[in-house]
Structure 1
């Protein structure tokens, strides 16, 4: 074959791409991309310009409100206090005292009126009593002798052997002897009474609350109470109530008392309402009488619910009622949609909510929840919550 060098180098491959065409294509793609990016940027800028508010200012919050109305609820008041004996009787030494020989009862036992609780060693008083008996016998013998001598003198006076003066003398001797007998008998009765007071007795039937004496202990009339007895075992709760709540409590009102740790509640009645109010705490005391039960322990703490008649009152959810140092309160929305604080007195808490005994008429728009994040005077947008 005959190949020419020059002919081979000038041949063109028709399948190879044209460089100028490729360059133009790349330029068009680049221009199109830049145009699209510019359009996006302008669109975002235009959108921001239209969404920007005409005037800046604080946003007004939207709050859920309810109009509670009024329903029939029990006007109850809750208070706390301490349990104790209604009539606590301290029992001490009524006589001279001495060394305690026996203690016959313990705390928690029931006793009868006059029952012996403890005895004091009567050795000294018993000896004195025996001495008094001997003095009575001696005085009676002297009185009998004086009477015999007087009788003899009266038999001889008619014969002239005894003068009238001797009769008067023997009569006086007889009367003095009889007087000594009465004196000795009175001293004996006194000693017997003192001996009887050595037995420490319960002044009334009741429940022994405290025992503060042991055998061998020396006691006297100046000693502190040896026993504490609850008269008839009747207890009471001294419930402390605020001044405004105490005004609603009446004698005879039923009260439900629940001691701390007890498995059940007990029913009592108000038997006394304090006539005074503590000027410091602004509280008074309502005394609630309770029948004895082993679960009612004097000194314990208990909760009392005072029940009165049913009244028409608003009922709010717990989320709507707030509390601080000034007391319980709610937030209401006035006609200008402004937040206003309203102090309230709460009553019984039930599954339906908290009864509002005073402070609301039931027609107000009350903030349902999130009241802690609001301030009085703040403007809001109320959203009325419909009843379920």
Structure 2
């Protein structure tokens, strides 16, 4: 029996060749696909890296300030009227009738001084006055008598003139003695110490029996009386702000003992001179003090509302650049390129500044410009894509003011 071959059968060697070719083709396809994916990923990475290399900035629009902001300065309260009371005569303190914190009226007795030496001087002066008056009366009688005798030629004209002159001298001595008595009486009035005006006693530095030596250069005040119904407020205003504070204006102030409460004071005068050592000018204000809640000598914080400056543009202080080229701001032109502009500050408000020159309302100012930014650099505004399509709007400078 002989072997018979099937016409459609394939030899095993050919099957293996076909399988190898198919595997090779598949490997080529896989390699090609992987290369394409890697090339695309590399291109995307390059695009992303280039996009990230463009700085992203935030822009703001300068605005014309509606107000000049607030100027906060330390100040102090003083009595509207303050009088230290000193002794005018020597002696010993006999009694005192008021103490610190007492409210007094004008003319009210504060204390009395015992003046034994002055009392004796006054008695002697009155005796001298009485003696001078007696001498003057006798001289007057003699002068009149001698004047009557002159008509009968019993005495000479010279003797009459002598008597008349003696009377004139005695009258002058009476006037001198009377003036001495009046002086001592006036001095005696100072033995009673009275309040010069309505107010409150803020100091008492004496006691009963204390030696009062009015002639000593080191003698201390006995009392201090202050008028506190109305207070004066003093504050030193920097020279650059002095023209903005004018008489007739108002200011608010706060004190530590009343947190959260504001009091009002009126500007009544300026020193019209700048202190060379501090560069400030002294401003005086007045404030009502109903209920005497505020105390003289207290420190206060004054708050002045400043007017807006003409032509000023307000931007946040974070937009300023200060380097070797001076004070500048970075802006964006229509092509999205950086342009630096020199500016001058007209007023510093802390977190914002008013620019006096160098900016226009149409400028787009870069807020917090990144380091290394150069003239002509391309940047991307926060809220836009790499093609420059806007996804948001820039902030107003008022948000920073």
Asked if residue 245 in structure 1 is aligned to residue 241 in structure 2, the reply is yes
Q: Where in structure 2 are the equivalents of 1:366-385 lying within 5 Å?
A: 366-367=365-366, 374=371, 377=374, 380-383=379-382, 384-385=393-394
Aligned residue number for residue 133 of structure 2: 140
Aligned residue number for residue 67 of structure 2: 74
Measured on the aligned residues, the alpha-carbon RMSD in Å equals 4.7
Post-superposition offset of 1:135: 1.8
Of 57, 64, 85, 1:63 maps to 57
Instruction: Output one character per residue of 1:258-308: Cα deviation in whole Å (capped at 9) or x when no partner.
Output: 333335322222222332334454333332222334333333222222354
Aligned 8 A contact 2:91 2:116 in 1 = no
Distance 1:217 1:376 in 2: 80
Aligned 8 A contact 1:76 1:347 in 2 = no
TM-score by length of 1: 0.66
Aligned 8 A contact 1:339 1:375 in 2 = no
Distance 1:261 1:101 in 2: 39
Aligned 8 A contact 2:338 2:374 in 1 = no
DSSP-derived class of the 2:338 partner: coil
Aligned residue number for residue 270 of structure 1: 267
Instruction: Output one character per residue of 1:55-96: Cα deviation in whole Å (capped at 9) or x when no partner.
Output: 98983331222225446x233441313223376554353734
Distance 1:357 1:268 in 2: 30
Aligned length: 341
Aligned residue number for residue 257 of structure 1: 253
Aligned residue number for residue 24 of structure 2: none
Distance 1:276 1:266 in 2: 27
Distance 1:202 1:310 in 2: 50
DSSP-derived class of the 2:67 partner: strand
Aligned 8 A contact 2:311 2:356 in 1 = no
DSSP-derived class of the 1:261 partner: coil
Instruction: Output one character per residue of 1:13-62: Cα deviation in whole Å (capped at 9) or x when no partner.
Output: xxxxxxxxxxxxxxxxxxxxxx9xx9899899767655553898983331
For structure 1, the residue ranges without an aligned partner over 5 or more in a row are 1-34
Aligned 8 A contact 1:268 1:289 in 2 = yes
Aligned residue number for residue 303 of structure 1: 302
Post-superposition offset of 1:315: 6.3
DSSP-derived class of the 1:125 partner: helix
Post-superposition offset of 1:347: 7.9
Aligned 8 A contact 1:333 1:367 in 2 = yes
Aligned 8 A contact 2:269 2:285 in 1 = yes
Post-superposition offset of 1:187: 0.8
Distance 2:188 2:79 in 1: 32
Post-superposition offset of 1:340: 6.4
Q: Compared with structure 1, are the counterparts of its residues 319 and 75 closer, same or farther at alpha carbon in structure 2 (3 Å cutoff)?
A: closer
Of 282, 297, 301, 2:279 maps to 282
Q: Compared with structure 1, are the counterparts of its residues 93 and 240 closer, same or farther at alpha carbon in structure 2 (3 Å cutoff)?
A: closer
Further displaced range: 54-63 or 279-288: 54-63
Post-superposition offset of 1:188: 0.4
Of 184, 189, 196, 1:196 maps to 189
TM-score by length of 2: 0.64
Of 198, 206, 210, 1:214 maps to 206
Q: Compared with structure 1, are the counterparts of its residues 113 and 330 closer, same or farther at alpha carbon in structure 2 (3 Å cutoff)?
A: farther
Asked if residue 85 in structure 1 is aligned to residue 48 in structure 2, the reply is no
Asked if residue 236 in structure 1 is aligned to residue 228 in structure 2, the reply is no
For structure 2, the residue ranges without an aligned partner over 5 or more in a row are 1-26, 383-392
Further displaced range: 138-147 or 111-120: 111-120
Further displaced range: 123-132 or 80-89: 80-89
Q: Where in structure 2 are the equivalents of 1:134-213 lying within 5 Å?
A: 134-150=127-143, 167-201=160-194, 205=197, 207-208=199-200, 210-211=202-203, 213=205
Aligned residue number for residue 337 of structure 1: 338
Distance 2:229 2:90 in 1: 28
